[in-house]
Structures are given as structure tokens and as C-alpha cells.
Chain A
Amino acid sequence: MGHIRLVPVLSTVLLDPRELAQRAEGAAIRSLAERAQAGDAAAVREMYDRFAPPVMRFVRDMLRDPHSAADAHQDTFIRVFQRIGSLEDPDRLVGWIFGIARRVCLEHKRKLLRGKVLEPADRGVEVADLGAGPEAELSGAESAAALDRAIDALSPDRQAILLLRCDHLLPYEEIATAMGFSVAKVKVEVHRARLALRKVLDGPPERVDDDGGVA
């Protein structure tokens, strides 16, 4: 009987420290979600403090408009706090929040498009050739601006997937929750988004369509 009890203890000891940290993080997020669902005001505040910065970065990346981003950020957390009771899997809190942020961004993007006609210059991507080594040629703000323009050339879904994966470093399962896709589809879409991004960064300033091809 004793060795059976030792198995989880040994497995915990032998785990990779990074995996241990991930497990602890997952347990903390689960606890946070459950407390917020139970109506704990401190948990609500903690949730805001914890997720407001990444969500703001995400909505800014998606919208590229500071006022719309501020509104979208606010709307996201209003919905999060209103609908926290409907969260079925507390382990997927991060993906759930980013999923709400993504939908809010799409709504605000539609509003922005109704209000303004994008000029071709806005959508063009003028990036130096990154094939020989992007970091050698671009640095700091320049490379960030080039990457921003390249991301802007992608479709909204690809933008969201790529940002969640490469910028926010979310695992596939969380992205699947945020996007409403299966994990397999997320892997495929991440791969296609990467290919599309490379095509924009390597190629001439053109718009990339949903299939990864340049229009």
C-alpha cells in the first residue's frame, strides 16, 4: 500500500521544474476562477489585475486604435465579470477571457471599418528582407513596426491565433478555447498563420488572404 502512495510523490519530485511551475500556475488559475464564480470580490479584482495587461496588449494588437482598444478592453472585462458564472471549465479561464476579448475586438473592428475607409497605404507592408537575418537588419522599434504591419496584413482569425501563440505564448488548448476550434485545427491554423506571416515578411507589400496566399 505504501508504494502506491509514494508514486504521486515521486512523480512530483521527478517532474521538470518548469512543468511543476505550470501545474502550480494552473491550480492558481483554477482556484481564482472558482472563487470569482462564487462571487468573491477579491478574486474579481485579482482576476482584473492579473489579466488586464495581456488583454490590453492583445486588443491593442488587434485594433491598432488606442480609443477603440480602451473601449474593447473595458467591454471585455464587463463581459468577463457578467458571464463568469457560465465558465464551464475553470482550467480554461485564460482561453475563455481571450476568447471574449477576441469577439469584442471583432465587433469593434467592424465598427471601425464602418466609420473609416482604409486606404491602400494603411494595409501595405513595407518590410525589409528578413530572409538574411531580420534582427541584423531591423532592431527595436523598427522590427516591431515591421512585424505589426505584417500581422495587420493577416486575416483577423490568423492575427488572433498568431498573437495568442507567439506573443502571449498560450498553449494550444487555451487557444482552442479562445477560438472555438479543436486543438488539431489550432495547430494547423498556427502553422498556416506562420507561413502567411513569413510570406508577408519575405515578399512584397501585399495583402495575404485567408489561405495564406498573397492576393
Chain B
Amino acid sequence: MRPTAPCRFDLDALSQGELDEATSVDARLHVAVCAACRAELEQLTVERRLFASRARARDAEPPVPSFEAFLVHRARPRPMKERATRWLRALSSESLSLRSFRASWSLRAILRGSPMQVLVASAAAVVLLVGVSRQNQSKPTGARTPDQGVESAAPPTHDVERAGLPRGSSVSTPNGSSFQGAGNKSVVWAASVRSSSTLLASSSDACAPEETVCLEEAAEARCSDASVASRPECVPSSANMSSSSSSEPLADDCGASLCVSESL
């Protein structure tokens, strides 16, 4: 490769015709006597022709879309990801007067922003998580307190498993929802509460159409009150009890009982 000679003239500008008239004349006089600069200028000229021939070869390429086509193409619906980005951009746009908010509190600003912003954002996230976890802790896990209603007393699935039911049975609540359990038995969730007559009525309604047995939740049986066990909450409406072992209604420590009906 030919080395480029140091020269006080910009031969590239000379080959492009960018030098003013006086400088151009001086440069050409220099090139006439300097072999290195002459060779460089020839090389530049060859490259210019090469690029020009390449530009001519580009004539076969598809034409540029017209302005109308550009506008139509621009109005075309974009992919989901891009639309989401645009939605966020529109949300933080000036029309919603959130520009200052965006400047200081956008995710990008927080990520690259001041430690105070990161700290406040982290604190907000922690408070949110603590609130959610407390809310989850306050939810019943199967046994209910007496002042809870039936509507909120849906049995979790693991209660069905703890009840010792075979696979294939299903658990249903008085309000209509059901859970898959085991075998050929279906479990009707009575969800009775000691002092609630309405709940008693609903549980007996739930148990009424089928022959029903009531099982104690063995794992949850911490209540030793014998009177609870004799409550008629889940006493079957039909007389033909299929299982003597499950003939007496049993309740857990908080008054809830499981009513199991065997499918025929």
C-alpha cells in the first residue's frame, strides 16, 4: 500500500472541489512537482470513480416511498412492543402535563438517577410488599373464625388432601365453587359457623340432595368441645348413611366441618 505523504494541502478537499480558487491553484502546482501527492490524488480520483460507479449500480434498487406512502406507513399499527412504548411515551407526554414528572421520576431517570430517588423508590416497593404479605397472612387457611361469613370461607385444596380423601373427589362450597379432591367421593364444604343460623341453613341445603357424611379434619382437630361435635350442622337430610364411621358430624376447632358425600 502506498503511504500517504504529509502535505500541507488537503488533497481530499481538492479532489472534491472544495478548495477555493487560490488554494486550489497552489495545490495543483504542488501536485505537479510532488510524486507522492500526485499518486495520492490519483488514488483519490480512482476511489471517487469507484463510488460513482457504485452509485450508478444502485439505480436498480427499489424506489424510495413517496411522502403519501410514508404518511400511510406511519399511520399503520405498530407491533405490540412498540405500541406499548408509544403508550408510555404518550402517557408521559406534555399533553398530560407529566413532563416534569417524567423528567424526575421516569424509570430511566430512577435507574440512572440520584441515590435519593433510588432510595425512595425502594422504600415504596418494600412498603408495598409488606402490605401484600400482611394481607395474605390475615386470610383464613381453612379454619374460620366465628364471625366470618360463608361467602369468604372457601376451603383451600390442601384441606381436602388433609381430610384424607382419595384422588378424584371434589369439594364444593355452598356458594357454588368446587375443588377437585380424590376418588369417587365429592366433598361438600359446609363451612358452618357455630352461632350462625343462616350458615346452618345453607350448609344443610348444601348437604340435602345427597347422602352426606361429615368428616373431621384430623389435622385441624384442636377443638375439644364435645358440644361442637353434636351440632346438627351437617346432619344428612336423607336417612341412609353410607358410613357409620362418618355418621356423626364433626367440626374443627373453629366450627367448620367437612361434609363428604359419596357418589353412588
Contacts and interface: CB of A to CB of B under 8 A. Distances in A.
Whether both chains belong to one complex is answered with yes
> Which of B51, B67, B74 lies at the interface centre, i.e. has the most chain A CB atoms within 10 A of its CB?
B51
Given A74-B73, A135-B46, 12 more contacts: A16-B20, A16-B21, A135-B50, A147-B51, A165-B12, A167-B51, A167-B54, A169-B16, A187-B10, A194-B47, A198-B43, A202-B1
A176 to B, nearest CB: 14
Interface string A185-203: 0010011001101110010
A45 B71 CA distance: 10
A98 interface: no
Contacts of A191: 4, 12
B115 interface: no
B64 A56 contact: yes
Candidate in A18, A74, A139 with the most chain B CB atoms within 10 angstroms? A74
A134 B46 contact: yes
Contacts of B20: 16, 19
Interface residues of A, number: 42
B64 A166 contact: no
Nearest to A203: B1
B48 interface: yes
B70 A48 contact: yes
Contacts of A74: 70, 73-74
B83 interface: no
B114 interface: no
B206 to A, nearest CB: 57
A88 interface: no
B49 interface: yes
A140 B64 contact: no
A73 B64 contact: yes
Interface string A139-162: 111011001100000000000000
Interface of A: 16, 18-19, 45, 48-49, 52-53, 56-57, 60, 66, 70, 73-74, 77-78, 133-135, 139-141, 143-144, 147-148, 165-167, 169, 171-172, 187, 190-191, 194-195, 197-199, 202
B67 A45 contact: yes
Size category, B interface: 20 to 34
Contacts of A171: 18
A144 B70 contact: no
Interface string B64-85: 1101001001100000000000
A48 B21 contact: no
A157 to B, nearest CB: 18
B118 to A, nearest CB: 27
A190 B13 CA distance: 11
Contact of A66 (B10, B44, B62, B73): B62
Contacts of A52: 64-65, 67, 70
Nearest to A170: B16
Interface in B1-17: 1, 4, 10, 12-13, 16-17
7 contacts: A48-B70, A74-B74, A77-B70, A140-B56, A144-B54, A171-B18, A191-B12
Most buried by A among B1, B12, B54, B62: B54
What DSSP secondary structure best describes chain A's contact surface?
Answer: helix
Given A60-B61, A171-B18, A166 B48 contact: yes
A90 to B, nearest CB: 21
Contacts of A60: 58, 61
A190 to B, nearest CB: 6
B19 to A, nearest CB: 10
A202 B58 CA distance: 24
B55 interface: yes
A133 B45 CA distance: 12
Nearest to B18: A171
Contacts of A141: 57
Nearest to B53: A143
B48 A48 contact: no
Nearest to B44: A194
Given A16-B20, A187-B10, A190-B12, A166 B53 contact: no
